[in-house]
C-alpha cells in the first residue's frame, strides 16, 4: 500500500477525494434528544466509540484488519457517524460504508466481534438496554455493505 504523509494539522493520512454528506453515514438519525442523552451526549459517545476501537485493535480475531489503517481518522469518523445517528449534534464527514470497507475482506464473524466490543463499551458506559438495541438496529442493515464474505 502506498502511504501518503500524515497531515501535520490533523494527524490524519489524506484519502482519495469523495463527496461529503450525512447520507454517507448510512442511516437516518433518531428524532429528538432521547438517544443522545441515553449515551451521555458527545462526551459519552466519544468514550464508547474510542473503547470499541481499543477493544477491536486488541482482539486477536480482528486486530490484523486494522493494521496499516489510519486509526486517527477512524476514531474521528466513527465518532462522527455514531454522534450523527444518535442526533447528538454532529455532521458526518467520512466516506460511505461501501467505499470505506472495500477490499478489507471482512467477514460476518469479524462484524460480530466488532459488535461485541460495541456492546461491551455501551454496557460499561451504562447505556440502557433499549437504547443499546436501538443503535444496534440502526447499524444492522449495514451488514452486507461492511462485509464481503
DSSP string, 35-56: HHHHTTHHHHHHHHHHHHHHHH
Examine residue 121 and tell whether it contacts ligand HEM (CB under 6 A): no
Q: Cβ of residue 15: shortest distance to ligand HEM, in angstroms? A: 6
Please write down the long-range contacts of 109-116, taking CB distance under 8 Å and 24 or more positions apart: 109/61, 110/61, 110/62, 110/65, 110/147, 111/143, 111/146, 111/147, 113/56, 113/59, 113/61, 113/62, 114/52, 114/56, 114/62, 115/139
- List Cβ neighbours of 27 (8 Å cut-off, separation of 6 or more): 85, 138, 139, 141, 142
101 is in an annotated binding site: yes
C-alpha cell recorded at residue 148? 464481503
Q: Which stretch binds ligand HEM (CB under 6 A): 33-41, 45-53, 109-117, 127-135?
A: 109-117
Judged by beta carbon, residue 32 or residue 68, the one nearer ligand HEM is: 68
Q: Does 117 bind ligand HEM (CB under 6 A)?
A: no
Does 114 contact ligand HEM by CB under 6 A?
Answer: yes
The binder of ligand HEM chosen from 49, 77, 84, 138 (CB under 6 A): 77
- By CB under 6 A, the residues from 32 to 71 that bind ligand HEM are 62, 65-66, 69-70
Q: Which residues bind ligand HEM (CB under 6 A)?
A: 62, 65-66, 69-70, 73-74, 77-78, 81, 94-95, 100-101, 104, 106, 110-111, 114, 139, 142, 146
Residue ranges of the annotated binding site are: 101
Amino acid at each position: 500500500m502506498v502511504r501518503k504523509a500524515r497531515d501535520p494539522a490533523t494527524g490524519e493520512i489524506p484519502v482519495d477525494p469523495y463527496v461529503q454528506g450525512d447520507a454517507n453515514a448510512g442511516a437516518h438519525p433518531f428524532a429528538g434528544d432521547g438517544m443522545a442523552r441515553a449515551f451521555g451526549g458527545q462526551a459519552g459517545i466519544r468514550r464508547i466509540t474510542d473503547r470499541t476501537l481499543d477493544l477491536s485493535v486488541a482482539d486477536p480475531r480482528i486486530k490484523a484488519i486494522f493494521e496499516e489503517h489510519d486509526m486517527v481518522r477512524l476514531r474521528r469518523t466513527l465518532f462522527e457517524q455514531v454522534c450523527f445517528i444518535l442526533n447528538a449534534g454532529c455532521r458526518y464527514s467520512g466516506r460511505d460504508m461501501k467505499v470505506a470497507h472495500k477490499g478489507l475482506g471482512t467477514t460476518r464473524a469479524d462484524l460480530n466481534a466488532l459488535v461485541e466490543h460495541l456492546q461491551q463499551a455501551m454496557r460499561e458506559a451504562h447505556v440502557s438496554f433499549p437504547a443499546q438495541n436501538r443503535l444496534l438496529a440502526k447499524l444492522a442493515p449495514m451488514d452486507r455493505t461492511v462485509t464481503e464474505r
